Amino acid sequence: MPDKPEKRLHLSSSPHIYSPVSVSSLMLSVVLALIPSTIYGIYLYGIFALASVLVSVATAVIGEYLFRKIIKASTTITDGSAIVTGMLVALIVPPKTPLWMVALGSLFAIIVVKEFFGGLGSNPFNPALAARAFLLMSFPAAMTTWTMPKGLVVHADALTSASKLADATAAATSQVADAVSTATPLGLLHGHYTIAQIAQYYGASSTGDFYKQLFLGFRPGSMGESSILLILLGGLLLLSLGVIQWIIPVSVIGSTFVFAWILGLDPVFTILTGGVVFAAFFMATDYVTRPLTPLGQVLYGVGIGLIIVIIREFGGYPEGVTYAILIMNIITPYLNKLKTKKYGYVAPPKPVKAVKGASK
């Protein structure tokens, strides 16, 4: 008589919650949401931008495969997380970053930030942003050299007119003058130029037209931050699919707006420039490095907004999104301890107070 098949009990760590949504389907959703911004970035910056995306993605996938092969671990490249990381690295660096630097940043994101800490789900920092910080510290000149998008004609005389701020120092003037053909709006603002002058520099007839230009994405910068409109479309796709929730994007964008207004900055300009909106939807919402509780997510988003504005106003670097999110990644474990829920715990009933004067 054949032996009965042995029944085995499989144990795993909590939480014991089943979801039909796989990692690969989530990553596919993110890739689809990134495609509009990626295509527009390639349109603005040409074939080199396409090569940057392809090199970054290929390096991330191959790097993860080879590393896990070396350590004799099961392959994870089919989950799509390496593809997303590679795309994000290419989208947040300057469009004309040398391809070997892009590949180095992609390898750093996958191997050092992700695999060294145990792979997907164990990394303490957002891999793509950590890679950008690494490249910025290692190659500051290349990482602060920007390219004018296709078809944009600037008017340099707007920066040399008599209306330039009187308190602009010679150092700041030379800094902007050396990069007149490749200056970003944030770089010009950091060089002590007014928003009106910056608008004239980019050919806008008024501040309102300049805001529209920024919203549509016709200005220098990284591919990922070019068009706010396309970023919002991608973010709305992720929200509609339930891939991300609204708390963090709203907290990041809203707090950045409020803190910019409090410190006397133009809040609309602050939101429409740099990587605030892109990071709010595609970076700060990373499942691994964001808090789990709603309260923690609100504080997380507000902290990011505050740090962004502080760095832009008082720091020596015109942008602050990268370091704002990385700093809040450090605080995430502590935010997760706020109002934690004890599963299976039932609070004891409160004792009934005796009424004075009642009969015994």
Question: Could you give the 3-state DSSP secondary structure of residue 359?
Answer: coil
Does the pLDDT value for residue 218 go beyond 70?
A: yes
Rounded mean pLDDT of the chain? Answer: 83
Task: Give the separation between CA 152 and CA 214, rounded to whole angstroms.
Answer: 12
| Model pTM score | 0.81
Ranges of each domain in the chain: 23-143, 150-220, 244-337
Given CA atoms 280, 286, 289, 291 in this order, what sign does their dihedral have? positive
Nearest in space to 54 (alpha carbons), one of 116, 119, 106, 114? 106
Residue 56: CA count within 13 A, CB half-sphere? 31
Using alpha carbons, list the distances in angstroms from residue 160 to 43, 153, 165, 180, 316.
31, 16, 10, 11, 23
* pLDDT at position 15: 54
pLDDT in tens, 290-335: 998 899 999 999 999 999 999 998 987 778 899 999 999 999 999 9
Question: Could you give the 3-state DSSP secondary structure of residue 74?
Answer: coil
Residue 70 CB contacts under 8 Å (≥ 6 apart), including other chains:
none
pLDDT in tens, 30-60: 999 999 999 999 999 989 999 999 999 999 9
Element (H, E) at 309: helix 294-314
